[in-house]
Amino acid sequence: MAGEKNKERLILDAAVSLFTTKGYTATRMEDVAKKAGISKGLTYFYYKNKEDLFMALTKKAFDQFKEEFRESFRSKGKTGLEMITDLVQRIWTFAKEQPVYYQAILHFLDLMKKYTNSKLRNEIDPQILDSIHFHKLLELHHEPARIGIQMVSQGIKDGSIRPELQPEITFFTIWSMIIGFEKMSGPVEYENKEIKINPEAWQLGFIKLMQDMLKGTVQASKPQIVQASLF
């Protein structure tokens, strides 16, 4: 059993390396086998095709992603708001240091948009739908969010997050903001643009705005209506 797990790890590690350097489309199963030092036939024994391999890689990505959530939630002596802040920074680091895993997670979220829509499900590659790892992902992909919701609930309980917020809606809104931040990092860091934003200042501003929203310190003020005569 240990030997099998070791071979699976070698194949996944080789896939991550090749997807990083060559890209998913250009990588062939024989390339993965060669990189892992395993025969092509044995590679197909563990993973039926490249789509099945990518789903296995995505499951591993979610497993590691979930650990980032757990580490933030295990933080002793921190309020719920501090846990969420720590999590945001962890996700940014994860996206930077594990780009293949992070992109695999985003790809799976896109797959779910099609899978949950009966009219779009037939657009998904049948080999993905046939993958046992895809079906495992269907069961576990909500686990990181479940932990994030617990953090928001903890914040409401300890008073660091305003009590009228609904934990589920609040966390998924925060997660969508984080995804948006990562997607916009390229345009923001592009030098030849008219709108100038310092990436570091934007990161700090993002965290402060998120904290203010959760604490309830963002208050809209109505503009004062000034009545004046034109003459």
Residue 18 to residues 46, 63, 64, 228: CA-CA distances in angstroms?
18, 20, 19, 69
On the CB side of 99, CA atoms within 13 Å amount to 10
**CATH superfamily, region 1-47:** Homeodomain-like (1.10.10.60)
CA gap 156, 231 in Å, rounded:
54
Residues whose CB falls within 8 Å of the CB of residue 66, separated by 6 or more in sequence, listed in order:
140, 143, 144, 147
pLDDT-wise least confident of 9-23, 35-49, 185-199: 185-199
Distance CA 117, CA 65 (A): 26
Task: List the domain boundaries for the chain.
Answer: 1-47, 49-215
Query: What is the residue-averaged pLDDT of the chain?
Result: 90
Distance CA 141, CA 143 (A): 6
Same fold, 1-47 and 49-215: no
Rounded Cα distance, 63 and 105, in Å: 10
pTM for this prediction: 0.86
What are 181-226's pLDDT values in tens digits? 998 888 887 777 677 788 888 899 999 999 999 998 655 445 555 5
**Which CATH number does the domain 49-215 belong to among 3.30.9.60, 3.60.20.10, 1.20.1530.20, 1.10.357.10?**
1.10.357.10
Q: 155 is written with which tokens?
A: 């914040």
Amino acid at the residue 39: S
Burial (CB count <10 Å: 0-12, 13-18, 19+), residue 48 = middle
